[in-house]
């Protein structure tokens, strides 16, 4: 697999057309299972093929049960300078319910280890809206993160995807369905506690202390071009999107034949605009109507403003310096509001 990744990097060296590489992200699956030697091989290949800036943000996704002192030292030597850890909860019953490999003790000890080894740039994921998660326990999860002084948090509402075990359990009444009122309460508790603790909600699900926004994720929301390497990886160059086949064996077999097994979508002007609305509306900066007017024209901006007006009137959107920004009430309904603003 690593050989295939290295070959794909070489095969796709022209995709970003000599753009500067400011962030590298090892994510999806469990990249913390890779040996340090393999991480070094990948990073060295990227630096050889692409123009990587000297202070690039290099993130490694890691599960708490993969964090060890020796590994942390090796990762630091490799150039990893940011961690994104799937903590999800500090309560044992939640982790068991989510079928996570780590336990509550590891949730806390892994954070302590990362901080003790001098990694200042750490993000953890937390999930709210679980059927058994009380308001009190959700508050305790937030407070734990604040007590650790973790600089970046990504907090997501539990969602149910079709054809998953959770979907089947809910359908067969083996577990309660999602309670949207509970999720709304948890979301509001999250905003109140983190705002009071000095965190900036710079995107609906992402909160950062000053200077610790995720540069990598921010690039997605700003429409920056990116290259994804490996099975299922997505790439975007502004006008088209492509994604590699998800099957590991078929992916490596294609690479061995010096070909790439992928699908591609050319984005229409309307799709490019809708994508801009979807991503920008989730951010603290909001959707820039002057930019839409300049790139897509007055008819497009006029139609969007017609729809946006009702959300301004009901307090879910505010207009600030010609930008549409979601209010606290609007943030919980972000996806629906964005879809309503889309052009056909």
Q: What is the mean pLDDT of the chain?
A: 94
Q: What is the pLDDT of residues 265-290, one digit of tens each?
A: 999 999 999 999 999 999 999 999 99
Domain ranges of the chain: 20-221, 234-266, 269-341
With tokens 């990886």, the residue in question is: 233
pLDDT, one tens digit per residue, over 51-81 is: 999 999 999 999 999 999 999 999 999 999 9
CATH topology of domain 269-341: Arc Repressor Mutant, subunit A (1.10.10)
- Answer whether 20-221 and 269-341 agree in fold: no
Residues 8, 42 contacting (CB under 8 angstroms): no
209-237 pLDDT, tens digit per residue, is: 999 999 999 998 988 999 999 999 999 99
What's the CATH number of domain 20-221, 3.80.30.20, 3.40.50.10800, 2.40.50.100, 1.10.20.10?
Answer: 3.80.30.20
What's the pTM?
Answer: 0.93
CA 318, chain centre distance (Å): 25
Neighbours of 164 (CB within 10 A): 11
Q: How confident is the model at residue 170 (pLDDT cuts 50, 70, 90)?
A: low
How far apart CA 94 and CA 104 sit, in angstroms, is 9
Average pLDDT, stretch 182-193? Answer: 96
- The CA-atom distances, in angstroms, between 265 and each of 204, 237, 241, 262, 271 are 27, 11, 5, 10, 11
């Amino acid at each position: 697999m690593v050989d295939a990744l290295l070959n794909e990097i070489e095969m796709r060296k022209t995709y970003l057309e000599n753009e500067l590489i400011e962030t590298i992200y090892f994510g999806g699956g469990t990249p913390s299972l890779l040996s340090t030697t393999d991480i070094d091989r990948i990073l060295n290949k990227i630096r050889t093929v692409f123009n990587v800036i000297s202070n690039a943000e290099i993130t490694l996704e890691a599960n708490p049960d993969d964090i060890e002192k020796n590994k942390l030292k090796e990762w630091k030597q490799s150039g990893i300078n940011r961690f994104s850890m799937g903590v999800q909860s500090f309560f044992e019953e939640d982790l068991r319910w989510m079928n996570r490999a780590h336990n509550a003790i590891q949730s806390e000890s892994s954070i302590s280890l990362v901080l003790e080894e001098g990694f200042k740039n750490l993000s953890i994921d937390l999930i709210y809206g679980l059927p058994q998660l009380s308001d009190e326990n959700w508050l305790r999860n937030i407070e734990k993160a604040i007590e650790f002084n973790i600089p970046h948090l990504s907090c997501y509402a539990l969602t149910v995807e079709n054809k998953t075990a959770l979907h089947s359990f809910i359908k067969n009444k083996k577990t309660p369905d999602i309670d949207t009122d509970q999720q709304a309460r948890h979301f509001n508790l999250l905003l109140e506690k983190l705002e009071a603790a000095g965190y900036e909600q710079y995107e609906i699900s992402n909160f950062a202390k000053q200077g610790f926004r995720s540069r990598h994720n921010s690039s997605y929301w700003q429409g920056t071009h990116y290259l994804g390497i490996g099975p299922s990886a997505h790439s975007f160059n502004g006008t088209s999107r492509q994604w590699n086949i998800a099957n590991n064996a078929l992916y490596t077999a294609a690479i061995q034949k010096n070909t790439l097994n992928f699908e591609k979508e050319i984005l229409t002007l309307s799709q490019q605009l809708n994508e801009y609305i979807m991503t920008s509306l989730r951010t603290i900066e909001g959707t820039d109507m002057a930019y839409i007017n300049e790139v897509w024209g007055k008819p497009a901006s006029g139609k969007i403003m017609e729809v946006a007006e009702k959300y301004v009137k009901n307090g879910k959107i505010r207009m600030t310096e010609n930008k549409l920004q979601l209010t606290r009430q609007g943030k919980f309904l972000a996806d629906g509001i964005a879809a309503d603003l889309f052009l056909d």
